[in-house]
Amino acid sequence: MTRFMRVAAHLALACAVLPSIAQAADEVAELRAELQALKSEYAARVGSLEARIGQLEAAPAQVAAEPVQQPPAPAAGSRSAASAFNPAISLILAGNYSGTSQDPDSWHIAGFMPSGGDVGPGARSFNLGESELTVSANVDPYFSATMTAAITGEDEIGVEEAFFRTTALPSGFTVKGGRFFSGLGYLNEVHAHAWDFTDQPLIYQAFFGNQRAQDGLQAKWIAPTDLFVEIGAETGNGETFPGTRRSRNGFNGETVFAHIGGDIGATASWRAGASWLDLNAEGRSYEDVDQFGEQVLNSFTGKSQTWGVDAVFKWAPTGNSAYQQLKVQAEYMSRREDGDLTFDVEGLGLSDTCESEQSGWYLQSVYQFRPRWRVGARYDSLDSGRTQIALVDDRVLPAAAFPLLQAADPDRVTVMFDWSPSEFTRLRAQYAWDEARADGEQDRQFRLQYLYGIGAHGAHKY
């Protein structure tokens, strides 16, 4: 009886365990099948990627012409989604030591109305230069936004640029709106930390007060050709020199520009352009002294038109511009103004017609003779022409009542040497023989400059 009960117990245990063993075997089989499917899918994806790499290596030109596909949006709540809209932030620290043989406070460009900008050699001794804080990011699939704040050594903060730009318009079109550096000329769009010298050419200082900013809209089109072709147009409130904000609705001023460029073999490239600026000024004031040496405030109201041409050539003898490169650039501009000039606005208030046609140009060359080391030279020349002032021609006032507008041909020679121990640092020494001053005295200017970049910073202009 006892033996029978043991056999029955064993049979009952087997009946209970066998279904569990069978279920476990089924789960193992399913897991093996799922693992095999994942291996097959992984092998297929690896094969596809290897084939794609082979196509890219075999036909790079064809792939470069294909439109770039937007990546899919990250899933909500994922780690990439949390940081997708974090802006890129960069800071440029700048400063200098300056020494001049003439008083920098009395510096004015002979023959030209003062532009009111931050021009001239700057104060003597150590100076904290203009630092730039830039924040930029893609807003969504259709727009990007950028803001650059200029922080001066005088503890002033100004908005240098603050604009949106389209990213999804077809056929090579882009539209920019807000405050931005105008696309006229070559150097106007280049930020100060990217200049090849510590200061702008005289033509930019005299015509635009260093750089012309625009509050308005800009449209550009890049042609789908092997040769680089860019055409652009702008309009806005015209507030900055040589224009003024008008006391009426609508726009003030139009700018059009065009650039073409290309490569010459594997070692050289070039770009050339032309620009036109048409503006109006209402009560554009400037300070001068009269024939008795007394301070007076004068103003101009009328039309200002500027045209210019520019050209840039770059040559890297080894084909590697990071090792050795020669850059040569030049610009020529001409400005014609026609309107009314008022003498002593706050006193006599005498007003009559005024016409002027002025021009200027510069030629500069920078040679990087080895990695991180560069030397450069620049020559500036201006021609103030003869400003026709009816108050003087009609003998109401003597020519000495407008000393800053007497005919002159200012010029300047500048040499520089700089070292960039890394892509984030630049140290520069510069010396200039300046004969642009209204008093006719030569000013010998020496300057040491440092530039340090922190954070993510976009590529510089060609």
Domains delineated in the chain? 170-444 (2.40.160)
Closest CA to 360 of 408, 300, 303: 408
pLDDT score at 6: 57
Rounded Cα–Cα distance for residues 129 and 296 (Å): 31
pLDDT score at 29: 67
* pLDDT tens digits, 271-320: 999 999 999 999 999 999 999 989 999 999 999 999 999 999 999 998 88
pLDDT score at 353: 95
With cut-offs at 50, 70 and 90, classify the pLDDT of residue 69.
Answer: very low
pLDDT score at 77: 42
Whether the per-residue pLDDT at 73 is higher than 60: the answer is no
One-letter amino acid of 371: P
Could you tell me how far CA 254 lies from the centroid of its own chain? 20
Q: Average pLDDT in the 184-206 region? A: 95
Share of the chain above pLDDT 70, in %: 82
pLDDT score at 153: 84
pLDDT score at 82: 38
For residue 258, what are its two tokens?
């065009």
pLDDT score at 11: 44
Whether the per-residue pLDDT at 10 is higher than 60: the answer is no
Whether the per-residue pLDDT at 227 is higher than 80: the answer is yes
Q: Which has the minimum average pLDDT: 68-82, 129-143, 254-268, 397-411?
A: 68-82
Spatial contact of 273 and 307, defined as CB atoms under 8 Å apart: no
Could you tell me how far CA 198 lies from the centroid of its own chain? 16
pLDDT score at 31: 65
Could you tell me the CA-to-CA distances from 344 to 84, 350, 405 in Å, in that order? 58, 7, 15
Q: Average pLDDT in the 81-88 region? A: 60
pLDDT score at 212: 94
Spatial contact of 373 and 339, defined as CB atoms under 8 Å apart: no
Q: Which has the minimum average pLDDT: 134-138, 330-334, 359-363?
A: 134-138
Q: Average pLDDT in the 191-207 region? A: 95
Whether the per-residue pLDDT at 221 is higher than 90: the answer is yes
Whether the per-residue pLDDT at 3 is higher than 70: the answer is no
Q: Which 8-state DSSP code applies to residue 13? A: H
Contacts of 432 (CB under 8 A, 6+ apart): 121, 412, 413, 414, 415, 443, 444, 445, 447
Contacts of 446 (CB under 8 A, 6+ apart): 98, 99, 100, 429, 430, 431
Mean confidence (pLDDT) of the chain? 86
pLDDT score at 54: 65
Whether the per-residue pLDDT at 47 is higher than 90: the answer is no
pLDDT score at 81: 43
With cut-offs at 50, 70 and 90, classify the pLDDT of residue 18.
Answer: very low
Could you tell me the CA-to-CA distances from 52 to 28, 46, 47, 55 in Å, in that order? 36, 10, 9, 5
Could you tell me the CA-to-CA distances from 224 to 22, 170, 370 in Å, in that order? 67, 11, 36
Spatial contact of 219 and 235, defined as CB atoms under 8 Å apart: no
pLDDT score at 243: 93
pTM for the predicted model, two decimal places: 0.80
Q: Which has the minimum average pLDDT: 114-118, 216-220, 381-385, 394-398?
A: 114-118
Neighbours of 275 (CB within 10 A): 23
Spatial contact of 96 and 447, defined as CB atoms under 8 Å apart: yes
pLDDT score at 435: 95
